[in-house]
Amino acid sequence: MTFDPFGDFETAGYLQNALQLKDPIEVKESEHLSFEASIEDALAFLQNEPLIDYGAVLKVHEILFSAFYHWAGRDRNELVPHLAVFKGMHGDPGSTVFEHPAQVRRAVDYALQLAGNSGRFRDRPGEVMGQLAFAHPFLDGNGRTILLVFMELSFRAGFAIDWSKTQKDLYLRALSDEIREPSTGHLDRYLQPYVIDICSRDEWPGGISDIKGLDGMDKEGITYESLDDPEVQQIYKTYRTAAHAPMTGEPKTEIEP
């Protein structure tokens, strides 16, 4: 099943990309070229942004992918508010449920709230990464956008993840487990051995563009269904969204340098 939320794959290509590409390999290559060409601009934006909030997350995506996707910087709730997005077929064992589009911003805000507690963040980095991944704000480019935001957030908390030592399959498995069972330590246990102290952004280890698997939650087995489907509605009624964002009142969503 081709991921075609706009319903125009045959005429506009995958997600209405600028080159109207349809072949998955060509899409991946061109999309990654856009990412590589824009990394420095995105990192400079984050470094100079006084507060990391939801608007900053949207802006990072726009900087990274606007050359390839005209809708870059706009979230799922704006683009396809009528669709639920899954990894795998919904209802299948092992499938991943991403946040309801109407709750995407709330989910990201909660991740930023968690990252605002530096001590907890360092001890539980997977909790923050898992929450950002669960939000799945964008139709594509989530992994790489989230990575840059996470790197800046963790730098402001005084640490980094040595991503160059992680393994794609193990990371994605832990990430999927974290989304299904949030805040139970799946991704914390995987990432903890790779936590390092950091004093300068120049110390970020490994080539960012060479990190493997960051698009795995975007292109591998992604499906979508109408939110009008009673089965999909039931999934969101029973899914433990509260475990991802158990908060009341206004969350603290701004992370200072």
Per-domain residue ranges of the chain? 9-244
Q: What angle do CA 117, 107, 163 make, to 5 degrees?
A: 65
Task: Return phi, psi of residue 12, to 5°.
Answer: -110, -5
The SS3 of residue 247 is coil
Q: pLDDT at position 61, please?
A: 98
pTM of the complete model: 0.90
Number of other residues whose CB lies within 10 A of the CB of residue 232 = 20
Q: pLDDT at position 88, please?
A: 76
Contact 74, 80 (CB under 8 A): no
Order of strands, edge to edge, in the sheet holding 222-226? 96-97, 83-87, 222-226
Looking up tokens 């911003």 gives 105
Number of other residues whose CB lies within 10 A of the CB of residue 250 = 8
Residues of the chain with pLDDT under 50: 242, 247-253
Question: The domain 9-244: what is its CATH number?
Answer: 1.10.3290.10
Record the tokens describing residue 70, joined without a space: 């005209």
Record the tokens describing residue 135, joined without a space: 């939000």
Name the residue type at position 255: I
Q: pLDDT at position 236, please?
A: 85
Q: Which residues, other chains included, contact 251 with Cβ-Cβ below 8 Å and sequence gap of 6+?
A: 106, 109, 110, 112, 113
Q: pLDDT at position 234, please?
A: 86
Q: Could you report the per-residue pLDDT of 104-131, keeping only the tens digit for each?
A: 999 999 999 999 999 999 999 999 999 9
